Structure 1
Amino acid sequence: MFAPAGLHPVAAERRHLDQLAQAGADLFEVGLATENAALDGPVIQAAYHRALRRGNVLDAAVRAVEHASGLRPTVVMTYWEPVRRHGPEHLARLFANAGAAGVMVVDLPARQAVRWHDAARAAGLRTPRLVPRTTPETCLPAAVAGASGWLYAPASTAPTGYRGPLDVPALADFAQRLRAVSPLPVVSGVGISTPALASLVAPAVNGIVIGTPVVRALTAAPGQAPALTAAFARALTTPISTESRA
C-alpha cells in the first residue's frame, strides 16, 4: 500500500497507517514528497504538493517510516532529485536507521546506479527497481543489474492514477521476460484502479502495490481508506465474478 509521507499531521498519519495495516495492507510504500514527480498523475502530485506546503518533508518521511515499519515491512519510494540533494549515502543511512527495508528510486539515472546501489547496500537496504515495459529486450539485463528485493513492472504505461483498461496479457508477458533475466519477484502497480483489476493482475505478478485510489481517499475522506484497502485485500484472495470486471 502506497502512502505519501507528510500528507497529514503526525498523529493523524500514524492513525491512518494503523488503520490501513489492520484493513489488510501487508507492505507499506512510503512516498517522499518532491516537486517534480514526473511519473505520477494529478492525485499523487497534489498529495506531494500538500506535503511540501507543510514543510520538512524528509523529516516527515523518516517519521512515517519509523511508524510504518513497526506495523509492516516498509520501503521508501522516491525520485532521484531528493537523493541527489541530500546525498545517496546520507539518505540511505537515514532510512535504514528509521527501519526501512528498502528504497526504490523510480527514475534512477543509469550513471548514478552504481553509487546508489553501493550506498544502499552499505546501509543494509534493498534496492527495488522500476523497469518500464518499453525497455528493449537487449537492455533488460542492464536495467535490472544491481536491483534487490523485487522488480517493479507498472501495469500501465501511463502515469499513476490511470483509470482505463489494462493490457494484462502484455503485463504477464513482460513479467515473464523479467523473470528470464532476474530471480527477483515481480511487483506491479500503476493503473490498478479497482479491486476487480487487482484480481485480474494478481496471477501475473508476485505482489501488487495500490497507490492512487487510497491516496485519493486519504486526501479527501480518510475515513474511507480502510474500507477501500480491505476491498483490495479481499480481491487478491477471492475470485471476482466476470460481471464485476467491466
Structure 2
Amino acid sequence: MLNASPISDELASALRNRRYPALGVFLPAGLTSSRTERRTLDVLSRQGADVIEVGIPVADPVLDGPVITAAYRRGLDRGTTLPDVLRTVEYAASKGPVVVMAYWETAAQYGPARLARELKAAGASGVMIADLPAAQASTWNRAVADAALSAPRLVPRDTRQKQLFPLCTAASGWLYAPAAHSRTGYQGPVDVEALAEFTQRLRSVSSLPVVSGVGISTPELAQHIAPLVDGVVIGTPVVRALASGNRHEAEVLVSGFAAALRPATDGTVDG
C-alpha cells in the first residue's frame, strides 16, 4: 500500500482525523458579485461545509453538466479572471481547507508552475485538475510539489487495476471516486455496491483518503455512501440554488447534507 506524501499531510489529515466523513461543497468562482460570494462562503461554512471546492471558470468544462457549465459561463461573462479566483480562494481559506477544481486549459494558459504557486499563496490546500492529460501529469505533479500543494486526483470508475498504482502514486491529499458514470448534476440511481467495490480497490493501493461526488444528489444518498468514504462532495444542487438567487435554499441543502453525514447520536459539526 502506498503512503501519502509529506505535502499531502495537511489536506489528508483534515479528512482522516474525523468521526464521520467530511462534507465538501463546490462553489464556482465569479457566479455572483464578490460581496455576495463572501456572504455565501460564510453561510456554507456555518451550515457544515468542512472543505470548500472553488471552481475556476472555463468555457468548455467537459466533465460538468448543464448547471455547472452555465455557472462557469456566467462567471466568464462577468469577466472573472485568475486574480478574482485568488481572492475567492483567499477568503474561503479563512473558513477552512480549500481545494481548487480546475481544467488543464487553465493550467496551460497560465503555466502550471505559476498557477500552483499563486493558488498556494492565496491559501489553497490542494488543486485537482479534473481532466489532467497523462502526457502532462509529470509536469503538473512537479509544479504542485514545488508549490507544496496537494494534488487530489479524480480516478475514473473504469480504471483498470494495473493503472491504479501509477495514478494513485502521483496523487496526494485525496482520491476522488465518482459515484456515478456521468457528468456532474446526475440525478439518477447510483450503484452503491459498485462504488463500494471501487473504493476498496483504491484503498488496496493507496493510504490516501477517498472522497466521492458526482451523482450524490440527496442527503439520503449521501447517508448511504458515507460508510464507504472519507468525504462527500456536493455541487450541482447548491450551485443551482445560488444561480437562481436562493441562498436560503443553498443553506438548507448544505445543512441537510451535513446532518446526513453525522452519526445519528452526534449533533455537532467537526471543526
Q: TM-score, normalised by structure 2?
A: 0.87
Q: Deviations over 1:83-118 (max 9, x none)?
A: 011000000011000000000001101111111111
Distance 2:29 2:62 in 1: 18
Code of the residue aligned with 1:38 in structure 2: it is V
1:14 aligns with 2:38: yes
Aligned pairs for 1:69-218 within 5 A: 69-218=93-242
Query: In the alignment, does 2:76 pair up with 1:52?
Result: yes
Aligned length: 239
CA distance in 2, matches of 1:201, 1:70: 29
Three-state SS of the structure 1 residue aligned to 2:89 is helix
Contact 2:241 2:249 in 1 (8 A): yes
1:33 aligns with 2:57: yes
In the alignment, the residues of structure 1 paired with residue 41 and residue 113 of structure 2 have an alpha-carbon distance, to the nearest angstrom, of 27
Q: Does the 8 Å CA contact 1:41/1:161 hold for their aligned counterparts?
A: yes
Bigger CA drift: 53-62 or 177-186? 53-62
Letter in 1 for 2:255: A
| Higher RCO structure, 1 or 2 (CA under 8 Å, sep 6+) | 2
SS in 1 for 2:99: strand
Report the Cα distance in structure 1 between the residues aligned to 2:158 and 2:81, rounded to whole angstroms. Answer: 32
Q: Which moved more, 1:158-167 or 1:134-143?
A: 134-143
Percent identity between matched residues is 55
Q: Deviation at 1:59?
A: 2.1
* 2:29–2:80 CA contact under 8 A, matched in 1: no
Q: CA deviation at 1:22?
A: 0.3
Determine the C-alpha separation between the residues in 2 that align with 1:223 and 1:181.
Answer: 41
| SS of residue in 2 equivalent to 1:29 | strand
Amino acid at match of 2:108: R
Which of these residues, 248, 253, 265, is aligned with residue 228 of structure 1? 253
The CA deviation at 1:223 is: 2.6
Q: SS at 1:76's partner residue?
A: strand
How far residue 145 of structure 1 moved from its aligned partner, in angstroms, is 2.4
Alpha-carbon contact 1:5-1:57 (below 8 Å) kept: no
State how far apart, in whole Å, the 2-side matches of 1:10 and 1:117 are.
31
Shift of 1:238: 4.3
Q: CA deviation at 1:222?
A: 2.1
How far, CA to CA, are the matches of 1:151 and 1:161 in structure 2? 20
Matched, 1:64 2:64: no
- 1:72 Cα deviation (Å)? 1.1
Structure 2: which amino acid aligns with 1:13? Answer: E
Q: Kindly indicate whether the alpha-carbon contact (under 8 Å) linking 2:89 and 2:123 is maintained by their aligned counterparts in 1.
A: yes
Question: Which deviations, in whole Å up to 9, do the C-alpha atoms of 1:34-72 show, x marking residues without a partner?
Answer: 011000000000000000000133222111100000001
Query: Which ranges of structure 1 fall in alignment gaps of 5 or more residues?
Result: 240-246
After TM superposition, the runs of 4+ consecutive aligned structure 1 residues lying more than 3 A away are none
Cα distance in 1 between the residues matched to 2:248 and 2:223: 24
Ranges in structure 2 where 5+ consecutive residues have no aligned partner: 1-24, 265-271
Confirm or deny: 8 A CA contact 2:99 2:126 kept in the other structure.
yes
RMSD: 0.9
Equivalent position amino acid for 1:94 in 2: E
Cα distance in 2, alignment partners of residues 186 and 203 from structure 1 = 11
Amino acid at match of 2:29: A
